[in-house]
């Protein structure tokens, strides 16, 4: 009997000990001197809500301890004085049995420096890559024990391939040489999912770098090294959803942490109900609250705890790493009121940070609906500076592949640019030709090198912020069905690859031709304010030729030291001659021009010969 009593006692003691655990506090540290004095700590641990909370640190006030449905959570409201000193202090959790748990919290000093949080603008060229598919710098982290996906299989488009942050660090010089000025990689935070975890959009820990990519410290090193080389960093964040493997899903703080339905309901993927003045509320709810896919639970962004958790997390990443911009995934699927509040709080903390949202919609009006400054139909300002300009992308494809008609072919591009009046500032839009979710550009122009060059010329001379998808510069190809094919490895990013296309020696003659074209124009753009911040003047296409100019206000050619660039697009299969008399308002002072790509000088500008399927980029002299 005595043995049974002792065994029972130790069993109960072990059970009680296990029941009182502190598993995590998020954010795990914060900073003194932030704009917003309020901080809400998420505390997670078994039955943690049964414990009282105490802290004592000058300048930090414990305002409220919030208990929620799940006893494994506490949300602690703190108020931090503006003059608080950086330092460490204990947060003590105690129960009636006098058991104590302790977490040493730290307020850090904010870092300063000219390279931190610079912002990304139309002066930049963004390079988008998927870290798993770009370069493998550390083979030791290819497979991490204990994670749900343990396969490494480069022969499959759906398993991990081993690319990582160190691999990207090793290729920073390649990107700088190409003319890139900013890097955006798909989410690098932990995606501990059993299948297709490499893409990064099903987060399982918002405060942790996926260990197959590296560590928090390595991520910050990556940002710092990029800044040292004059390269900016864009972080990809997801407001709309997380992965089913997320600890916040497997043990939710409350039932309405995610949008709940009687039966699984997927979003309609239709953006129209969000903006339609005649919309059905049921359609709107399905669009906003439906789950993206079964493996990605949809955050309930009307829940104030969810709102605060996401906003604080994004502030934490910007302050921790000093990144320069944020790309917002699946922007139209988010709760509009929350996104406005989010943008206001982010801007208040980081006035120089750049933000653009993914809006894969079909009209310029739809894109403009989501951008800041368009308050007439919404009743409020979204505060979103820019979007991913899919409408310009579609118009460029139509110009290159379509047949000219009153509104078709190159006229589609002209008329799309003409609708820039819809935006508060179209220069804040990100212009692109492909990305990780769609067919690659080279395939979409039927592997026609002339069309490829024309598209690259349009991308790098159009208004807005150009974005290049990794491998486009070396003619990587494939279609989005299935998706994995457009996410192939960059050849040469792995030891033992048959060819290294990061080097000229590893590329074919045609690949070098394409690479050098992009490099020449990208570096020219990097040193030419007309193509960065200059105005755009376009002329109605005639005879299959579309002409526009990029120039600085106040001068036609070089009267004020600024350059004027003339872009002539010939989409036809035949060479043509362009009579330039109708462009006098932009060419009046020009006596000659230089072909930016070839260096050839045009000594007369009255008539310009334009080869078939060619976009000329001419600097006027």
pLDDT tens for each residue of 141-188: 999 999 999 889 999 999 999 999 999 999 999 999 999 999 999 999
Question: In terms of domains, do 315 and 421 share one?
Answer: yes
Q: Which of 210, 329, 389, 619 is catalytic?
A: 329
Neighbours of 362 (CB within 10 A): 12
Question: In terms of domains, do 156 and 280 share one?
Answer: yes
Report whether pLDDT(14) > 70: no
pLDDT band, very low/low/confident/very high, at 15 (cuts 50, 70, 90)? very low
Give the three-class secondary structure for 467.
strand
Active site residue 329: yes
**Quick one: which of 29, 42, 124, 116 has its CA closest to 80?**
29
Domain boundary among 527, 553, 579: 527
Residue 119 lies in a domain: no
Residue of higher predicted confidence among 469 and 8: 469
Question: In terms of domains, do 499 and 545 share one?
Answer: no
Domain boundary among 471, 505, 527: 527
Question: In terms of domains, do 539 and 520 share one?
Answer: no
From the number of C-beta atoms within 10 Å of its C-beta (0-12, 13-18, 19+), residue 94 rates as middle
Domain boundary among 77, 108, 139: 108
What mean pLDDT do residues 378-406 have?
94
Question: In terms of domains, do 46 and 137 share one?
Answer: no
Question: In terms of domains, do 76 and 149 share one?
Answer: no
Question: In terms of domains, do 616 and 539 share one?
Answer: yes
Asked if residue 467 lies in contact with residue 456, where contact means CB atoms within 8 angstroms, the answer is no
Question: Helices 336-349 and 304-321: crossing angle, nearest 10°?
Answer: 30
pLDDT value for 243:
98
Q: What is the mean pLDDT of the chain?
A: 94
Residue 118 lies in a domain: no
Question: In terms of domains, do 209 and 334 share one?
Answer: yes
Question: In terms of domains, do 24 and 87 share one?
Answer: yes
Residue 5 lies in a domain: no
pLDDT value for 588:
84
Question: In terms of domains, do 146 and 214 share one?
Answer: yes
Domain that holds residue 79: 18-108
Question: In terms of domains, do 202 and 102 share one?
Answer: no
Residue 406 lies in a domain: yes
Rounded (5°) CA angle 467-470-471:
125
What percent of the chain is predicted at pLDDT more than 70? 95
Domain tally, the chain: 3
pLDDT value for 404:
85
Report whether pLDDT(8) > 50: no
Residue 102 lies in a domain: yes
CA 491 vs. chain centroid, Å, equals 24
| Dist CA 227 CA 152 (whole Å) | 31
Rounded (5°) CA angle 273-275-280:
35
pLDDT value for 9:
42
Asked if residue 78 lies in contact with residue 54, where contact means CB atoms within 8 angstroms, the answer is no
Q: Which CATH number characterizes residue 104's domain?
A: 2.60.40.10
Question: In terms of domains, do 134 and 29 share one?
Answer: no
Report whether pLDDT(242) > 80: yes
| Dist CA 17 CA 99 (whole Å) | 9
Report whether pLDDT(415) > 60: yes
Q: Which CATH number characterizes residue 222's domain?
A: 3.20.20.80
Q: Which of 358, 489, 511, 619 is catalytic?
A: 358
Residue 10 lies in a domain: no
Active site residue 473: no
């Amino acid at each position: 009997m005595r043995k049974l009593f002792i065994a029972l006692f130790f069993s109960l003691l072990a059970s009680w000990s296990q029941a009182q655990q502190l598993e995590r506090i998020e954010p795990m540290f914060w900073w003194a001197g932030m704009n917003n004095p309020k901080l809400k700590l998420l505390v997670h641990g078994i039955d943690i809500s049964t414990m009282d909370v105490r802290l004592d640190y000058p300048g930090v006030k414990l305002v409220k301890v919030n208990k929620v449905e799940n006893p494994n959570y506490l949300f602690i409201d703190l108020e931090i004085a503006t003059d608080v000193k950086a330092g460490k202090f204990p947060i003590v959790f105690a129960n009636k049995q006098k058991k104590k748990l302790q977490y040493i919290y730290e307020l850090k000093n904010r870092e300063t420096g000219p390279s931190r949080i610079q912002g990304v603008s139309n002066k930049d060229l963004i390079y988008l890559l998927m870290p798993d598919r770009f370069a493998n710098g550390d083979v030791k982290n290819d497979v991490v024990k204990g994670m749900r996906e343990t396969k490494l299989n480069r022969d499959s488009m759906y398993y991990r391939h081993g690319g990582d942050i160190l691999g990207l660090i090793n290729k920073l010089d390649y990107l700088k040489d190409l003319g890139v000025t900013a890097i955006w990689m798909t989410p690098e935070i932990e995606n501990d999912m059993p299948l297709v975890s490499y893409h990064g959009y099903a987060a399982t820990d918002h405060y942790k770098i996926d260990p197959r990519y590296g560590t928090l410290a390595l991520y910050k090193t990556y940002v710092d090294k990029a800044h040292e080389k004059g390269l900016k960093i864009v972080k990809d964040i997801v407001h709309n959803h997380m992965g089913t493997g997320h600890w916040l899903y497997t043990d939710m703080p409350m039932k309405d942490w995610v949008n709940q339905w009687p039966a699984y309901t997927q979003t309609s993927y239709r953006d129209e109900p969000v903006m339609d003045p005649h919309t059905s509320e049921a359609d709107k709810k399905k669009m906003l609250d439906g789950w993206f896919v079964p493996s990605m639970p949809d955050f309930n962004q009307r829940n104030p705890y969810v709102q605060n958790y996401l906003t604080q997390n994004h502030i934490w990443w910007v302050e921790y790493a000093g990144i320069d911009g944020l790309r917002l995934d699946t922007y139209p699927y988010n709760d509009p009121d929350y996104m406005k509040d989010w943008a206001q709080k982010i801007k208040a903390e980081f006035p120089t940070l750049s933000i653009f949202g993914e809006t894969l919609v079909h009209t310029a009006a739809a894109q403009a609906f989501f951008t800041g400054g368009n308050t007439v139909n919404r009743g409020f300002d979204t505060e979103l500076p820019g979007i991913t300009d899919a409408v310009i992308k579609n118009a460029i494809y139509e110009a290159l592949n379509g047949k000219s008609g009153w509104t078709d072919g190159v006229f589609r591009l002209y008329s799309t640019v003409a609708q820039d009046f819809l935006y508060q500032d179209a220069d804040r839009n990100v212009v692109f030709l492909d990305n990780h979710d769609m067919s690659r550009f080279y395939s979409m122009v039927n592997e026609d090198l002339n069309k490829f060059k024309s598209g690259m010329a349009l991308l790098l001379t159009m208004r807005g912020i150009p974005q290049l998808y990794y491998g486009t510069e070396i003619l990587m190809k494939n279609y989005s069905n299935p998706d994995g094919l457009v996410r192939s490895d960059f050849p040469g990013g792995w030891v033992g690859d048959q060819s290294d296309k990061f080097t000229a020696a590893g590329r074919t003659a045609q690949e070098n031709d394409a690479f050098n074209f992009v490099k020449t124009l990208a570096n020219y753009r990097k040193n030419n304010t007309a193509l960065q911040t200059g105005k755009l003047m376009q002329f109605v296409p005639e005879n299959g030729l579309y002409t526009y100019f990029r120039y600085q206000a106040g001068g036609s050619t070089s009267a004020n030291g600024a350059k004027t660039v003339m872009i002539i697009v010939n989409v036809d299969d035949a060479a043509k001659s362009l009579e330039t008399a109708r462009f006098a308002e932009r060419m009046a002072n020009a006596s000659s021009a230089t072909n930016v790509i070839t260096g050839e000088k045009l000594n007369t500008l009255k008539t310009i010969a334009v080869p078939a399927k060619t976009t000329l980029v001419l600097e006027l002299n």
